[in-house]
Chain A
């Protein structure tokens, strides 16, 4: 066809964040303009490099950080060549050459080869066990090393080094951060901020060797330690070099482009050769090489427009900001950060709250800032720095927290092309257009429509300002900020629950109809939530709505990444019998399960079961469901206790089994875990459970709100009780109070932080009448629960509809 022959050839070298972001922007502007080929050395589609820190600490998988799937390339007609390294561009014959000898002609070519870790040229740097931290392969090396070795050293106390160190620490390694100067992150923080950061990280378990210059790596073939220039040494079986990055300019040099530190580009990302561009970390613009993503989005936007013949303002450089992605450490820095004679400094240091805030002014304009311990104003501060806003009383009050004054709206000053949401690359114009075109009135609607604020949420305040600015008089601040339970309604959890109670609504359909949902059948957020609230409010009347359950709860089994399921039978208190073990083993063999796993909750998980086999396995097991999939009581972990343990003062197994039998099956706002211990040695780990019970001579201690997951939190002591009856009553009252006031999916750890321990103690412990009322409502709820596996087995229609596939041989008429 004609259209294809007239298309120009665009070749992108580097399948990373800058290259693919530019391609995305080109596709938005003019999808038919180029026939696109992308070369990438790594064997993956484009992924979010920033989030490698999360992969390292295992809070995300590699799949979860993929930004553009294989299909995305296919659907956009992009010829993707992964695992292929480009060696040079021949600017005379206008061709790109690869390592394996492929030659591809181009009309335009973009170099987006990123950076490489700076490997310090120190004797011994070539030993085994010394790596950089840049890509998935590095991350995998580190994950592997953490399994084999204990002592790690990270060279470099900047953002990357600290994130690497924290990740290795989380993997169980003993980690020391080695840093050349005394202050960590000295290129972003002043001394005060840096010392606070170090203290916080030390309390999390990291060790530091600051003011040390590494002179040599010790060991034979493999590294065993470091020797510093002062003669001291440090033992290390594994070393991560995070001392900096170096623009990857190999292709640029081999192609004869002008290269300084990076490939030199002008304000339209043009290199020294015609039709050859460079974008991202490999480039050097006005003498600056960047090492963060925000600039590359801005560069990509200018380059995409330039390549599509759309008029654009030149790229004039970026103000960068740094935010550390380590949980429990709020550190932000942007623009200038060091005191200087020509600067005025607004400073607040609260040593008790461990908060430090500093804003730097030049001629009354905000040119930089540092926040430690309280990053709430980070997004706004960054925006004020970018736009060089003049300091006002309102801004001062907003940042320093001296008054609850509303700061003036600076959204008006933001240029249209400014990237508001760095994570998703959404510009101000994109948001303004979405508001105007679709009549949006809330931040949540903007999130749903444009993706802005969907990932880290840092830009939410700015999005809100843009909304206010765009709507003018029509802006309703309370309504816009209020977070409805989902995009289908502006009502909050409490308003929805009150509505259900007052109006006597019995089904989700009625709720959505009467309470005026925007979306007649709701969404994946409100449907499961409403099903829970209805069941909590009307335990006897409510009919469970299976179509509103998430897959695991609908199937009563845990779906795995390959579409098979895991089956976990109940094992009360983690106690079993030889007969039950034998039965489980026989069933596992009969159904050829792929793996048998002892879970963290003291029971057995049969993994790799097909959907159709689920009811058969349950039938053969004849055991109740362990609810390993549910927003309900999962397990009661117990220690051996007084029945066998010589330290035990209380029968922890007996109490654990009693509690598990009593409270199993009941729907809760989120998953719920218990532990019971026979003495304060706490072998069953009470401090990370929703309720952790510790036996003492003559008393039980009850701890609540603990969590050992992604956001860990130690449990608080709720109270001590003398008798078993009191214990059961307090547990019942606590669980019911949480059921009645918790938001759907809110764990007790978040709930307690929100409502305050004092209010829970008052409702559950101090007000005995209320406690009894709560416990009574709990009994009503418990009287309604049914064993789900048995229910499926007893109902052949349900069994057929939910679990069996329909097979149609082809050729049937």
Chain B
């Protein structure tokens, strides 16, 4: 793993996040949308819609590991932030891990 370049910061306990309801987390100047899936996995995306009309992502509908953009209804893969066909685009995805019940998000200092 390339953990040397990535710093993990704690953003809260697992219980602070509702399943399938995104929450906005700000780390420094970056605004993220953090999601907890039904399977208990956590994902973090930059909170910015890739669609033509802009907007944020945190309030989209989560299904499995796919997020439906609340503004343009595009489908975005939570794992890698890639927009799914037939649309195209990319949202920046951040690594998330859970340690001792704490949700930690990795960001690179650069």
Choose from A449, A546, A561, A806 the contact partner of B23 (Cβ within 8 Å): A806
Please state if B23 and A801 are interface contacts (CB–CB under 8 Å). Answer: yes
B90 to nearest A CB, angstroms?
Answer: 6
Residues of A near B62 (CB, < 8 A) are 521, 547
Shortest distance from the beta carbon of A453 to any chain B beta carbon, whole Å: 11
CA distance A554 to B61 in the complex (A): 10
- A-B contact sample (17 more), CB < 8 A, given A72-B89, A563-B55, A807-B25: A61-B53, A75-B90, A424-B86, A450-B86, A521-B20, A523-B61, A524-B61, A524-B73, A547-B19, A547-B61, A805-B24, A805-B25, A806-B16, A806-B23, A808-B25, A809-B28, A813-B9
* Residues of the A chain whose Cβ atoms lie less than 8 Å from the Cβ of B9: 808, 810, 812-813
User: Does B23 contact A63, Cβ atoms closer than 8 Å?
Assistant: no
Beta-carbon contact of A806 and B38 below 8 Å: no
B28 touches A550 (CB 8 A): no
Chain A residues in 8 Å Cβ range of B18 = 546-547, 801
CA distance A607 to B54 in the complex (A): 19
**Proximity bits, A437-458, B CB within 8 Å = 1, else 0:** 0000000000011110010000
Any B CB within 8 A of the CB of A551: yes
26 contacting pairs across A/B (C-beta < 8 A): A63-B52, A71-B50, A450-B86, A454-B86, A520-B63, A521-B20, A524-B60, A547-B20, A548-B61, A550-B61, A550-B70, A551-B59, A551-B70, A554-B21, A559-B59, A559-B70, A561-B55, A801-B16, A801-B17, A806-B11, A806-B26, A806-B34, A808-B27, A809-B28, A810-B27, A812-B9
Chain A residues whose CB sits within 8 angstroms of the CB of B68 once the complex forms:
523-524
Complex-state Cα separation, A64 to B28, whole angstroms:
32
Contact (Cβ within 8 A) B70 A521: no
B38: A residues at CB distance < 8 A: 521
A523–B64 Cα distance when bound, in Å, is 9
Instruction: Report B-chain residues with C-beta under 8 Å of the C-beta of A66.
Output: 52-53
Within 8 A of B (CB), among A47-97: 61, 63-64, 66-67, 69, 71-72, 75
A372: CB under 8 A from chain B? no
A801 to B21, CA, bound (A): 9
Contact B16 A554 (CB under 8 A): no
Within 8 A of A (CB), among B24-58: 24-28, 34, 38, 50-56
Interchain residue pairs A-B with the least CB separation, the first 4: A810-B28, A524-B68, A547-B20, A551-B59
Chain B residues with Cβ below 8 Å from A67 are 52
Docked-complex contact A547 and B64, CB < 8 angstroms:
no
Give which listed residue, A63, A522, A806, contacts B53 with CB less than 8 A: A63
Q: Does residue A802 face the partner (Cβ distance < 8 Å to B)? A: yes
| Distance in angstroms between the alpha carbons of A756 and B61 in the assembled complex | 34
Partner of B54, one of A75, A561, A807: A561
B interface footprint on A783-813 (CB within 8 Å = 1, 0 otherwise):
0000000000000000001100111111011
8 Å CB contacts to B: which residues of A500-536? 519-524, 527-528
Task: Say yes or no for B1: interface residue by CB 8 A criterion.
Answer: no
> In angstroms, how far is the closest chain A Cβ from the Cβ of B68?
4
Q: Whole-angstrom distance from the CB of B59 to the nearest CB of chain A?
A: 4
A109 interfacial contact with B, CB 8 Å: no
Is there contact, CB below 8 Å, between B16 and A63? no
Q: Looking across the interface, which residue of chain A has its beta carbon closest to that of B62?
A: A547
Q: Which of A75, A555, A809 contacts B89 (CB 8 A)?
A: A75
Could you tell me the distance in whole angstroms from the C-beta of A290 to the nearest C-beta in chain B?
A: 26
Interface string of A661-702 (1 = CB under 8 A from B): 000000000000000000000000000000000000000000
Q: Could you tell me the distance between the alpha carbons of A806 and B31 in the complex, rounded to whole angstroms?
A: 10
B residues contacting A by CB (< 8 A) are: 9-12, 16-21, 23-28, 34, 38, 50-56, 59-64, 68, 70, 73, 85-86, 88-90
Query: How far apart are A63's CB and chain B's nearest CB, in angstroms?
Result: 5
Q: Are B56 and A563 in contact (CB under 8 A)?
A: yes
Contacts of B28 in A (CB 8 A): 808-810
Query: Within 8 Å CB of B23, what residues of A?
Result: 801, 805-806
Which residue of the partner chain, among A69, A449, A521, contacts B85 with CB atoms under 8 Å? A449
**B6 nearest CB across to chain A (Å):** 13
Contact indicator A808/B11 (Cβ below 8 Å): yes
In Å, the complex CA distance between A561 and B72 comes to 12
Bound together, the chains give a CA A349 to CA B88 distance in angstroms of: 46
Q: Mark A416-445, 1 if CB is under 8 A from B, else 0.
A: 000000001000000000000000000000
Q: Identify the closest chain B residue to A488 (Cβ).
A: B63
Could you tell me the distance between the alpha carbons of A805 and B31 in the complex, rounded to whole angstroms? 10
Question: Chain B: which residue is nearest A545 at the CB level?
Answer: B20
Complex formed: what's the CA distance from A71 to B91 in Å? Answer: 10
Inter-chain contact A806/B12, CB cutoff 8 Å? yes
A69 to B54, CA, bound (A): 10
Please name all residues of chain A whose beta carbon is closer than 8 Å to the beta carbon of B24 when the two chains form the complex. Answer: 611, 805-806
Q: Which of B54, B86, B89 interacts with A449 by CB under 8 Å?
A: B86
Bound-complex Cα distance A361 to B68 (A): 49
The contact string, 1 if C-beta is below 8 Å from chain B, for chain A 339-371, is 000000000000000000000000000000000
Find chain A residues with CB under 8 A from B20 CB.
521, 547
Interface centre among A449, A520, A548, A551 (most CB of B within 10 A): A551
A808 CA to B12 CA, complexed, in Å: 10
Q: In the complex the two chains form, is B59's CB within 8 Å of A554's CB?
A: yes
Q: Are A807 and B50 in contact (CB under 8 A)?
A: no
Q: Which residues of B contact A454 (CB under 8 A)?
A: 86
Q: Which chain A residues border B70 with CB–CB below 8 Å? A: 550-551, 559
Residue of A whose beta carbon sits closest to that of B34:
A806
> A519's contact among B52, B60, B63, B85, by CB below 8 Å, is which?
B63
Chain A residues within 8 Å of B17, by CB? 801
Q: For A24, give the chain B residue with the smallest CB separation.
A: B88
Known: A806-B24, A808-B26. A527 touches B63 (CB 8 A): yes
Closest chain A residue, CB of each to CB of B28:
A810
* B56 CB contacts on chain A under 8 angstroms: 563
Closest A residue to B91 by beta carbon equals A71
Partner of B64, one of A448, A520, A524: A520
Q: Say how far B20's CB is from chain A's closest CB, in angstroms.
A: 4
Give Cα distance in the complex from A449 to B84, angstroms.
10
- The contact of A555 among B12, B59, B60, by CB within 8 Å, is B59
| Shortest distance between the CB of A629 and any CB in chain B (Å) | 12
Distance of A520 Cα from B65 Cα, bound (Å):
11
With both chains docked as a complex, state the minimum distance between the C-beta of A446 and any C-beta of chain B, in angstroms: 10
| Cα separation A302 to B16 with both chains bound (whole Å) | 55
* B84 → chain A closest CB, angstroms: 10
Contact A519 B21 (CB under 8 A): no
Complex Cα distance, B63 from A524, in Å, reads 8
Q: How far is the CA of A801 from the CA of B18 in the complex (A)?
A: 7
Q: How far is the CA of A67 from the CA of B16 in the complex (A)?
A: 39
How far in angstroms is the closest Cβ of chain B from A69? 5
The answer to whether B21 touches A451 (Cβ under 8 A) is no
Bound form: Cα–Cα A808–B25 in Å: 7
The residue of chain B having its C-beta at the shortest distance from the C-beta of A426 within the complex is B86
A812: B residues at CB distance < 8 A: 9-10
